[in-house]
Structure 1
């Protein structure tokens, strides 16, 4: 079919929209059937250039989406892939006739969230697509929902959606989708203890791939087959498929599938008793896995999503302002009579007020986006991360593996919880307290037990029902540790307390450190201002505006140490 299509394209006499459509059809099939052949990247770029010359929105939008797929799937660059997906979405969302293409673009954006372990966000996207009337391949969306539940270890739900998707794919006679669904279904069945079913399903998938020569799925299918055979204690077949998956991946260069194959191969070596190769392979798997979902990449993807929405709000406000200016000028020029002029003036005044209001709203949204981003960055303090990793390295050099393991476990937990909460406006108070405990346990270990801490929650507060902004006290705790307690000669104490006063939640950080006046940091730089303090004040200002409340931040300099009181409106989860 590809050869036939290529022949038609090469003999096409005119460069028009039909020519572009033929090229789009060709590259869409070529890149999945022959993923190791990267000539279609240049081919797609040329299709994009021709579409721009013809001013053909459909060709431009699909070419951007294809570039996103190339960067995302085949070059393992979800950040650049997301950028192209957003460019494609900006083209398609303008025209109702292009809504069927919006489904594909939003699906790809949802897959980036899935790969970055943003499961709630991915599930929300896919379930919305499931009820979209323009979604003509609902079985494909059901497949992705099965993937989300599989990653969340909700195996029954995953199997349910995979089997629903399989029915749709078989009714539509789509071999590529059938093979893909069965590849994942087999692994989930094996994970759920249905070992024979898993083995049967993966072999059916491999048969479809072989029959239809679907090379783009072979690496993933081999990786899953290796895992399934390993669960069935067939080490020989497990090693065969894991090894061949890595060999095939050399041409594909997909970091995600390589990471999965390495993880499976490490388990194979471990089961064979080859612990040296098991350790080496596992280390390589961990490094690769962490590079795919590292904090910087997740932070940058989140930043790009926030920036995209903020720019969109600004653009809408600016268009409205320009439209009102045009209306005003036209009305003044054509206005006759005092009454008519008054009426027009009143209308223009109201519209101008609306435009100004929208402009201020867009500026406020931009401020919210910027504050969210800064708050996220302050929680992921690079100095704290660097120092923590140094401490882990120091334990390893001292051969204190127990301390290194304990420190690494707490550090990994803190990073995971911070990233999980980064997209949430509010979390339960009990969850925030758990996060703060983990953070302070790490800092105590890093500062050689230089301080102790207590956390007191008023007995009248329901910590499992009250919600707060995540990690809002963390910058103040960090200041207490670094600038107050670390410079104290004897053991310090931080007391964190939560109590209710007049429908407000009072969150306090009280330390017995050397105080702000005696801090070496402040002496060396009297003009130094805490970035964490500024960000927290900005977050509370936004809460005050959105909730119409009067939250505050107060600093009390004590005879010995400092106390910070943060007041927030009491909000309940339910």
Structure 2
């Protein structure tokens, strides 16, 4: 099944109310009104934003010029409300296109100037930021944003926004395995939506009930809700919700081993996703199809579908975008704190002027208080700056880990393709099964800073089995662990040994005419863990005669160790030495234990 769980999070868009609201609900009518009202005033700004909103899900790319003009006019008029609403709509367009970096940037700009605007508008921005955190699986931040949104909506007695808040909280609780609590929130939202006759939200809410019951493994109930949501979304011409619902139905079909039905629903979802340029749902459809084709024995089609899924998945959001989101969020927090500090400084200066009348002793007390405040403010800013640098370093470390996988993935896919071309389907199927297991393990560990030594060695053993199969069993290996080491309790950075093993295979053993062996030894040295990797390949001198390429994996590993040393004040390193035959690598890591 696709790994991405559908979270149909209801965005909060509070449109301006115009005198001709019935006509403005139709896009053509809005465009006609814009033609008949060229004057650059607040009325035109409202028309522009409403027009862009009506284009959000069908032609978001074409809506940006309307938002840009609305921003330009609002700035000329110095109309903060127009600027805030335009920025929010800009963020919504980016969100619908899965560009979360740009969406967050627009929402934060709107939030920064929203302190004097309508509280319901401020609430909507918290909701939209919560949506982004949910997409990035930062659930604690998402819950915090949604609770603030729900609190402000109830205070303003805004039923529509209360529906959104209940739905989104229900989805997060469902996603974090608090399923019954999630269903309670979503059903409360559905009751309110039906009472208000809000058809646009009803299809999304019903779809999310299907998701909750799927996680509860009540598949008949889940299908019942999914099919109801699909019909509603189709009637409303909401291709995003319809495509997502079709993917969800296909998931249930696969769980029930109804592969023909699953294929039909996935293909229909793919068609809708491609038409609306929704890369996230398109990626989900290709992943589902790769699994379906594999189960039906169509391995070449399965491989082709999986490759398309990988390309689309990586284009939706990668670690560099996560790092940029973190930097923008921290920058916003620091700027807000600086603004608060500056306002407080001005207030202190006014107080000091008033105290001058009271006498020298009161003035002296005010000065002392000011300097104590300034010292504390500087300390807070220094701490925030240090936290910011640490967060960026950790994000860059995640990005480095993510760079280690692509060339191995495509080498493995090419090997599978070669077996298919030579009609060796059994070997290709065996290779594909081992490759899928390895990829699943790598993805599960990709967000972790440390993993048990036992898991690292298990991953490397599976990797060497794959390479041995590719080299027609020319490669053998052995792993030895000092009895004093508890491999389940000892921790190492994930995939830290992979580049060295890869070098031994590609530059040593693969170039050797006879069989080759890799030996891995693990032992302790005082407060350090030493992992040695030895091979009996052709050696560095012979390998460098035929290749001028440097190992990107070794460079990335060195950078990873440098960042780990910087963050934790540790001394990690590796040493490569030549043997009489082959190469030996000694990797020294800090002795980290789980308990």
| 1:24 is the counterpart of 2:52 | no
The Cα of 1:400 is off from its aligned counterpart by: 0.7
Deviations 1:387-418 (A, max 9, x none): 32222121111111111112223333333433
The Cα of 1:470 is off from its aligned counterpart by: 1.3
Match of 2:123 among 75, 97, 100: 100
Separation in 2, partners of 1:63, 1:130:
22
Separation in 1, partners of 2:383, 2:140:
31
Deviations 1:265-309 (A, max 9, x none): 9999999xxx89x99997886565444324xx36x6211222454
Distance 1:86 1:311, change over 3 A: closer
Which structure would you say has the larger RCO, counting Cα contacts within 8 Å and 6 or more residues apart? 2
SS at match of 1:537: helix
The match for 1:506 is 530
The match for 2:491 is 467
The match for 1:535 is 556
| 1:123 is the counterpart of 2:139 | yes
Match of 2:451 among 427, 432, 438: 427
Alpha-carbon contact 2:105-2:328 (below 8 Å) kept: no
Alpha-carbon contact 1:496-1:507 (below 8 Å) kept: yes
Q: With structure 1 as the length reference, what TM-score do the two structures score?
A: 0.71
Separation in 2, partners of 1:206, 1:22:
31
Match of 1:409 among 433, 439, 451: 433
SS at match of 1:564: strand
The Cα of 1:131 is off from its aligned counterpart by: 4.0
Structure 2 residue runs of 5 or longer lacking an equivalent are 1-20, 116-120, 154-163, 342-367
SS at match of 1:293: helix
SS at match of 1:553: strand
User: Where in structure 2 are the equivalents of 1:431-510 lying within 5 Å?
Assistant: 431-510=455-534
The match for 2:175 is 148
Task: Output the aligned Cα RMSD.
Answer: 5.1
Alpha-carbon contact 1:492-1:512 (below 8 Å) kept: yes
The Cα of 1:312 is off from its aligned counterpart by: 7.7
Separation in 1, partners of 2:430, 2:208:
34
Alpha-carbon contact 1:262-1:284 (below 8 Å) kept: no
Distance 1:182 1:425, change over 3 A: same
The match for 1:164 is 185
| 1:396 is the counterpart of 2:396 | no
User: Where in structure 2 are the equivalents of 1:320-339 lying within 5 Å?
Assistant: none
Separation in 2, partners of 1:500, 1:264:
45
Q: Which moved more, 1:131-140 or 1:312-321?
A: 312-321
The Cα of 1:145 is off from its aligned counterpart by: 2.0
The match for 1:550 is 571
Q: Which moved more, 1:450-459 or 1:101-110?
A: 101-110
Deviations 1:321-378 (A, max 9, x none): 9x9xxxxxxxxxxxxxxxxxxx9xxx9999999999998987777666555434431x
Alpha-carbon contact 1:313-1:365 (below 8 Å) kept: no
The match for 1:85 is 103
The match for 1:336 is none
User: Where in structure 2 are the equivalents of 1:298-309 lying within 5 Å?
Assistant: 301-309=318-326
Match of 2:203 among 171, 179, 184: 179
The match for 2:399 is 373
Separation in 2, partners of 1:101, 1:489:
67
The Cα of 1:224 is off from its aligned counterpart by: 4.9
Q: Which moved more, 1:37-46 or 1:555-564?
A: 37-46
Deviations 1:449-496 (A, max 9, x none): 232122233333333333321111112112222222223333222122
Distance 1:89 1:499, change over 3 A: farther
Separation in 2, partners of 1:412, 1:484:
26
Separation in 1, partners of 2:571, 2:226:
59
Distance 1:55 1:568, change over 3 A: farther
Structure 1 residue runs of 5 or longer lacking an equivalent are 114-120, 324-342
Distance 1:96 1:426, change over 3 A: farther
Q: With structure 2 as the length reference, what TM-score do the two structures score?
A: 0.69
The size of the alignment, in residue pairs, is 524
The Cα of 1:505 is off from its aligned counterpart by: 1.9
The Cα of 1:104 is off from its aligned counterpart by: 3.4
Separation in 2, partners of 1:264, 1:370:
31
Distance 1:57 1:572, change over 3 A: farther
Separation in 1, partners of 2:293, 2:543:
54
Alpha-carbon contact 1:314-1:363 (below 8 Å) kept: no
| 1:139 is the counterpart of 2:162 | no
